[in-house]
């Protein structure tokens, strides 16, 4: 493990904070208020944890101007403590060392273009006509199909699988177990049998995307499945064929997104939610966890659902009634007022 050390003055400059305290105090790590030691920095973002300020052993605390008056130790004062915490944590984050070049156990196909600054780990299998740009890190046991392109400074953690023709942008992080480019769930019925529809599109991942462990992204049936820049996908998400996710949208774990759904920019999708196929979700939409989205969302806002399961026809009737409840309640209130 790397050992990192910064003075409070250095940290203040790096995260854009106002320093109140000893400029030369050495900081070797970051930890919660309750467990931080005298050489570690902590942070306060949620006021419910303010009670720990009086007892913390931390060397200093990252906090807002409103909370600074309650702090009796050194402090780094910022408008957004959570963002500042993220920047500070990045400075202390563990980063495994990688050796540039191709490990001797890796299998490389013909006509590949692999930048000499890239790192290809043990037991990787790379197909033909693959392009891997400078600074890329391909972890042990990754499988990369034919005609895949990976832009600069992208990292694949061990055992990632990229099917043929997939395009990955720059500075993308893909965690272990991710599968990108497998066939979408396309079937046509022939009497009592299913006929597979060939999935001849691909997957395009734009710059600065992060994809969590064991998430799967299917290739398009005709066009491509597209993940725009800055999208953050949690673990164990299913992205079906021809889905389009707009820039800087964040999707929490175990979400299922059905085929051809279009999700806007800067959305937040709560864990366990299900999004139906061929729907459109506007920009700046927040969907609460476990929600079931069965119709397009055309306006920004916060949306939720959570009624219990029923037979489909009963559920559809109940959904209509549910939408009428507010109007019905208002009518009842007017009747009650008239009868008083």
Using 50, 70 and 90 to split pLDDT, how confident is the model at 307? Answer: low
Q: Which of 64, 92, 120 is the last residue before a domain boundary?
A: 92
Predicted TM-score of the model (pTM)? 0.88
**With 60 as the cut, is the pLDDT of residue 1 above it?**
no
**With 70 as the cut, is the pLDDT of residue 106 above it?**
yes
Q: What is the mean pLDDT of residues 256-279?
A: 97
The larger pLDDT score, comparing residue 98 to residue 154, is at 154
List pLDDT tens digits, range 217-234. Answer: 999 999 999 999 999 999
147 and 276 belong to one structural domain: yes
pLDDT, the chain, mean? 95
Q: What is the mean pLDDT of residues 208-222?
A: 98
Distance CA(86)–CA(54), nearest Å, equals: 23
Query: 49-74 burial, b if ≥16 CB within 10 A, otherwise e?
Result: beebbeebebbbbbbbeebbeebebb
202 and 144 belong to one structural domain: yes
**With 90 as the cut, is the pLDDT of residue 312 above it?**
no
Using 50, 70 and 90 to split pLDDT, how confident is the model at 308? Answer: low
56 and 156 belong to one structural domain: no
Count up the domains in the chain and report the number: 3
User: In the beta sheet, which residues pair with residue 162?
Assistant: 144, 180
84 and 105 belong to one structural domain: no
Q: What is the mean pLDDT of residues 184-192?
A: 95
Distance CA(137)–CA(155), nearest Å, equals: 5
**With 80 as the cut, is the pLDDT of residue 3 above it?**
no
195 and 130 belong to one structural domain: yes
Range of the domain at 275: 101-303
List pLDDT tens digits, range 158-172. Answer: 999 999 999 999 999
What was the pLDDT predicted at 336?
86
Select which of 175, 206, 241, 244 is catalytic.
Answer: 241
244 included as an active-site residue: no
Using 50, 70 and 90 to split pLDDT, how confident is the model at 2? Answer: low
What was the pLDDT predicted at 237?
98
Residue 71 near residue 78 (C-beta atoms within 8 A) = no
Among residues of the chain, what percentage have pLDDT more than 70?
A: 99
The larger pLDDT score, comparing residue 338 to residue 2, is at 338
250 and 188 belong to one structural domain: yes
What was the pLDDT predicted at 96?
87
Q: Is residue 39 part of a domain?
A: yes
């Amino acid at each position: 493990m790397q050992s990192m050390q910064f003075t409070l003055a250095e940290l203040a400059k790096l995260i854009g904070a106002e320093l109140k305290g000893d400029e030369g105090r050495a900081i070797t790590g970051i930890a919660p208020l309750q467990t931080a030691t005298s050489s570690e920095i902590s942070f306060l973002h949620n006021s419910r944890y303010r009670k720990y300020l009086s007892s913390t052993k931390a060397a200093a605390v990252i906090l807002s101007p409103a909370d600074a008056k309650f702090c009796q130790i050194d402090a780094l004062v910022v408008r957004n403590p959570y963002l500042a915490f993220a920047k500070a944590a990045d400075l202390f984050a563990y980063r495994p060392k990688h050796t540039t070049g191709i490990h001797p156990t890796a299998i490389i196909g013909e006509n590949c273009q692999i930048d000499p600054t890239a790192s290809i780990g043990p037991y990787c299998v790379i197909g033909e006509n693959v392009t891997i740009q400078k600074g890329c890190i391909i972890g042990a046991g990754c499988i990369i199909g034919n005609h895949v392109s990976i832009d600069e400074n992208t990292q694949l953690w061990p055992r990632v699988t990229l099917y043929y023709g997939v395009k990955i942008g720059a500075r993308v992080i893909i965690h272990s177990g991710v599968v990108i480019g497998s066939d979408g769930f396309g079937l046509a019925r022939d009497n009592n049998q299913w006929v597979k529809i060939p999935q001849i599109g691909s997957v395009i991942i734009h710059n600065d995307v992060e994809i969590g462990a064991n998430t799967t992204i299917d290739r398009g049936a005709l066009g491509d499945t597209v993940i725009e820049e800055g999208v953050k996908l949690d673990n164990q998400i299913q992205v079906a064929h021809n889905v389009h996710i707009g820039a800087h949208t964040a999707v929490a774990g175990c979400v299922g997104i059905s085929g051809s759904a279009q999700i806007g920019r800067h959305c937040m999708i709560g864990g366990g939610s299900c999004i139906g196929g061929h729907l459109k979700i506007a920009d700046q939409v927040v969907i609460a966890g476990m929600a079931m989205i069965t119709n397009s969302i055309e306006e920004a806002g916060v949306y939720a659902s959570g009624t219990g399961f029923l037979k489909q026809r009963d559920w559809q009737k109940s959904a209509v009634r549910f939408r009428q409840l507010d109007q019905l309640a208002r009518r009842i209130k007017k009747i009650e007022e008239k009868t008083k």
